[in-house]
Amino acid sequence: MLMLAQLASLSFVQKIGKQHNHVLVVMPRAESLPEDLPGNLPGRETLQRTLARRKEKAASLARTPLCAAVDGALYVWAMDDPEAPRFARASHLRKAMQPLLDEGPERLCIAVLGTPEERAAAASLAAEIAWINGHPLPRMKGGAEDKAGKARAGRETKDKTPGPLRELALCGWRGDLAASEALALANTLARELTQLPQNILTPESYRKRIKKLARQEGWSHEEYDFARLEKMGAGAFTAVARGSQNGEAAIVHLSYKPKKSGKNTSCERIALVGKGICFDTGGLNLKAARWMLGMHEDMAGSAVALGLLLAASRLRLPLEIDAWFALARNHLSPQAYAQGDIVAAIDGTTIEVVHTDAEGRMALADTLCLAARQKPDLMVDFATLTGSMITALGTRYSGVFASDAALGAEAVAAGAASGERMSLFPLDEDYEEALESKVADIKQCTMEGEADHILAARFLRRFTGGHLWLHVDLAAANCKGGLGAVASDVTGFGVAWGLELLRKRLTR
């Protein structure tokens, strides 16, 4: 993560102004400002003249940030309303910061004004946005020879410009930014993994990355490889995994346990489950090219779960967290599962295969079974599971299903508070009538496709062991033009929401 300097005095801007060519000035909402702009406002004279030239008042900055040059430096002035919805605030400040980050600066100065509460709210959000968007995602750009050689070697490269943001100077407020930093780090990890193409992020290389991160962070690590899962009777996962080559598919289990001290020897146990299909062809029910493009992102759920585990452990949340990752590819193969197959999940439930492109729920079924055996207090799974959720919501919200109404309300509230908006969907029992099978305990899906996002959730619920459970269908994993605090199409959606949910559970 980049270097951070914090000073309570705005005079810091003037003192090092020559060192900073990129400055974001965040003011409170217009009604809390005096009639005249504050005397200590960085770039005040330029802002006044620019507003006058445009025949605008300072209040216009609440709608549209203003960008101008001050003594050769690029300044942006914007307003932040702490009482506005988190999503709206994040979107506004991200768009305000974009002209600065577009130039690829190594240093960025953020100055905040207003009451202590207003400055604290603006500083934490602006720093989070700078950290998230100041780190470029992996790209395969460079010289033609270099690009071809490294692609053949299966190593990602990064184009040299714009480079990462290395220094952040925060003026006008001093305080703890650990949560903002941890969230930005976790979101960036999730987006970096999701961005990687399937010839680089294979199930095998993904397993190596997870193992390396586990060593670095001190998490316990366990793998259930194909042979082990086959012996255990995990027929739902291995049905999909037969399309992967060389036995590369596996379910990976990580555990984080906080240090216990004094009388606080027990804490809530959370299970995070992520779909990690590194590429989805649709299997024998092959996708059309239009729908197969971008299917390297079908592992976004696992990346979100991994990022959330990283954020929680960096913040040392007093929770025991088990994270489970279902890693495979849904490929064509003579051994691949087919329509009409009947397989048994690890808990003995028999499943009639109806469509091979509904592989995510198959891989998650056995993974949820393993997670449920640990008897967690709460299970949360993340998956880019159904196209019907995108049809229902588009890509600006994600859908959530809850095992009870109170938990559903918690999930929606966490969406509003985090700026990652969630819509709660029904999970009524009568929907499952569509999944009744004449030859097995349950159908995997239906051919009609009606309400498939709800049917998928009903299917998954059977494997949760009756535990408190949330299912997140990540319709917003990729949103063209960015979403909320994130400027890239790949959003890392779910990390901020999950961290907010976990932190709120600690204060109940």
In the numeric block, the tokens 């600065």 are attached to 100
The pLDDT of residue 142 = 66
pTM over 0.75: yes
Distance CA 181, CA 6 (A): 14
Asked if 137 contacts 195 with a C-beta cutoff of 8 angstroms, the reply is yes
In the numeric block, the tokens 């998230």 are attached to 132
Tell me, what amino acid is at 190? A
Distance CA 369, CA 243 (A): 22
Lowest mean pLDDT, pick from 57-61, 370-374, 451-455: 57-61
Task: Considering the candidates 119, 361, 458, 461, report the single residue annotated as catalytic.
Answer: 361
Distance CA 21, CA 186 (A): 28
Instruction: List, in order, residues 6 or more apart from 347 with CB less than 8 Å away.
Output: 369, 463, 465
Here the tokens at position 359 are 């592989």
Q: Which residues of 62-77 are buried (b: 16+ CB within 10 A; e: fewer)?
A: beebbbbebeebbbbb
On average, the pLDDT of the chain sits at: 91
Look at 231 and 35; give whichever has higher pLDDT.
231
Lowest mean pLDDT, pick from 37-41, 418-422, 473-477: 37-41
- 483 secondary structure, DSSP code: B
Distance CA 302, CA 290 (A): 24
Distance CA 496, CA 490 (A): 14
Active-site residue, 361 included:
yes
147-170 per-position pLDDT tens digit: 444 544 455 555 455 678 999 999
Active-site residue, 94 included:
no
Number of neighbours of residue 259 by Cβ within 10 angstroms? 7
Task: Considering the candidates 44, 158, 269, 287, report the single residue annotated as catalytic.
Answer: 287
119-131 per-position pLDDT tens digit: 999 999 999 999 9
224-269 per-position pLDDT tens digit: 999 999 999 999 999 999 988 788 999 999 999 998 744 556 799 9
The pLDDT of residue 306 = 98
The pLDDT of residue 30 = 66
Q: Report, as an integer, the average pLDDT of 285-293.
A: 95
Distance CA 6, CA 63 (A): 28
Distance CA 333, CA 221 (A): 30
Q: Report, as an integer, the average pLDDT of 204-211.
A: 98
Ordered alpha helix ranges (H), 58-202: 86-101, 116-133, 144-153, 178-195
